[in-house]
Structure 1
Amino acid sequence: MTSLAAFVLASLVLVAVPGPNLIYIVTRSVRDGRRAGIVSALGVETGTLLHVIAAVCGLATLITGHPLVFAVLRYAGAGYLAYLGIRALRRRPRAAAADAAADDSAEAAGRSARRRLLRLYLDGVLINLLNPKVVLFFLAFLPQFLSTGLTPAETRTGMLLLGAVFMTVALALDLCYALLGATLARRLSGTPRRDRGLSHLTGGIYLGLAALVLV
């Protein structure tokens, strides 16, 4: 296996480039705060773990080898991003939502908050998992840092270890972006008008990402 330091550096550069995952985490943090951004980052990197496992097990090769399956994955990813965009555009300002829920008990409010965080987590998983470009990325990227002449078992083990390193690097950067987004949220939110503007911006970003997936 080549230098681990070179792999970590390459991973840092690649993760730092803005893409659907990074933009999703930042917009979630800006729109819903630090906790939402952190949960979204955990969801995104759970998707990364599943992509790594798929690459190691050969499932990613199977997907890319069948154009119909790859096309279904591509359109499913774009459709899900479009759904998130429409949902964000239709979302009420937080002040109005708070008024509507004023009579809820503390226990009910806690359950609602947990359900929302779970939904954000699953959104992150699906956004990453349904991105066909990530499938291609791991198939092309990980083998470059493996030595030649390895047995199939050694190759799978090496890819799994590199994938774990990549996921750790990505999660660290994702959490930094989540905290950055939360800092921006404190400056941008606070009034129904601003919240409405953030919802429109978030929805527009998701719809733009949906179009980007299809390019």
Structure 2
Amino acid sequence: MIAGLDPVNVAAFLGAGLLLNLTPGSDVMFASASGLAGGPRAGIAAALGVALGGLLHTALAAAGLAALLVASPLAFDAVRWLGAGYLLFLAVKYWRAGPAQGVAGTAGLGRAIRRGFVTNALNPKVALFVLAFLPQLTDPATGPVWQQILVLGLLFSTTGFFVTAGYGALAGVAGKALGQATGWMGKVAAVIFGLLALRLVVE
């Protein structure tokens, strides 16, 4: 057993997590928009940032801080509005940008990673999901719960990265095929970021 986790439960968890990741959600939409605007590598980089943001939420849950966030409506709303504001900032930035030139070099990829991380880190609904889902699969009798949460979160973020990166890469390929240099893919990405901001606020 890893960190006291039942291998059967872990396998079932990975299967459920994979199905969940395959269903397009906010993470997939963000990586896909990044890929459309910046190419396949940008989509993959954004997916990595999203995965790192998920690991942050896992660490907060393991430390018990996520419970404090969820228990405080004021803090929850503050983080939610910050996340929506950041997405709107990206929407305006992409809308005003000129024809897409793709993401070249480590600076551009680092920017995509950072944006994916910040977007996911400022989504309190991810914290709520992690807090509600992962502890159910832990067993205090077999080892420290915080270690089990960290392992489960790492596994979920890893599988989620590959799925989300696949969507981001495919969107990047499609963006190039549709004429990324015309600048229209940046506009499409801007609309997607705006919709994600709206979704974060109203749901």
Global fold match (TM > 0.5): yes
Is 1:155 the counterpart of 2:141 in the alignment? no
Deviations 1:184-204, CA, capped at 9 Å, x for gaps: 122112552xx2x22221111
Aligned equivalents of 1:9, 1:17: Cα separation in 2: 13
Give the Å deviation of 1:75.
Answer: 0.3
Is 1:180 the counterpart of 2:180 in the alignment? no
Tell whether the 8 Å contact from 2:36 to 2:180 is kept in structure 1 after alignment.
Answer: no
Q: 2:134 aligns with which of 142, 157, 170?
A: 142
Give the Å deviation of 1:167.
Answer: 1.1
Aligned equivalents of 2:190, 2:111: Cα separation in 1: 17
Give the Å deviation of 1:155.
Answer: 1.1
Is 1:30 the counterpart of 2:36 in the alignment? yes
Q: Secondary structure at the match of 2:144?
A: helix
Aligned equivalents of 1:151, 1:57: Cα separation in 2: 19
Q: Which residue of 2 aligns with 1:125?
A: 117
Which runs of no fewer than 5 residues in structure 1 stay unpaired?
99-109
Deviations 1:44-103, CA, capped at 9 Å, x for gaps: 1110111110000001011111111111101000100111111111011137xx9xxxxx
Amino acid at match of 2:200: V
Is 1:198 the counterpart of 2:185 in the alignment? yes
Amino acid at match of 1:16: L
Please tell me the root mean square deviation across aligned C-alpha atoms, in Å. Answer: 1.9
Tell whether the 8 Å contact from 2:175 to 2:185 is kept in structure 1 after alignment.
Answer: no
Amino acid at match of 2:187: H
Is 1:207 the counterpart of 2:180 in the alignment? no
Aligned equivalents of 2:181, 2:191: Cα separation in 1: 20
Tell whether the 8 Å contact from 2:14 to 2:156 is kept in structure 1 after alignment.
Answer: yes
Q: TM-score, normalised by structure 1?
A: 0.84
Q: Which residue of 2 aligns with 1:64?
A: 70
Amino acid at match of 2:198: A
Distance change in 2, residues 1:207/1:155 (3 Å): same
The number of equivalent residue pairs is 195
Give the Å deviation of 1:182.
Answer: 2.2
Q: Which residue of 1 aligns with 2:3?
A: none
Report the identity percentage.
34
Aligned equivalents of 2:79, 2:59: Cα separation in 1: 17
Tell whether the 8 Å contact from 2:35 to 2:43 is kept in structure 1 after alignment.
Answer: yes
Deviations 1:97-140, CA, capped at 9 Å, x for gaps: x9xxxxxxxxxxx7xx4332222111000110000110100001
Q: Secondary structure at the match of 1:214?
A: helix
Give the Å deviation of 1:157.
Answer: 1.2
Q: Secondary structure at the match of 1:18?
A: coil
Distance change in 2, residues 1:144/1:199 (3 Å): same
Amino acid at match of 2:153: G
Q: 1:15 aligns with which of 8, 15, 21?
A: 21
Moved over 3 A (4+): none
Give the Å deviation of 1:151.
Answer: 5.3
Amino acid at match of 2:109: L
Aligned equivalents of 1:173, 1:59: Cα separation in 2: 28
Distance change in 2, residues 1:207/1:190 (3 Å): closer
Deviations 1:140-186, CA, capped at 9 Å, x for gaps: 11022223xx1596211111111111011111112211221122122
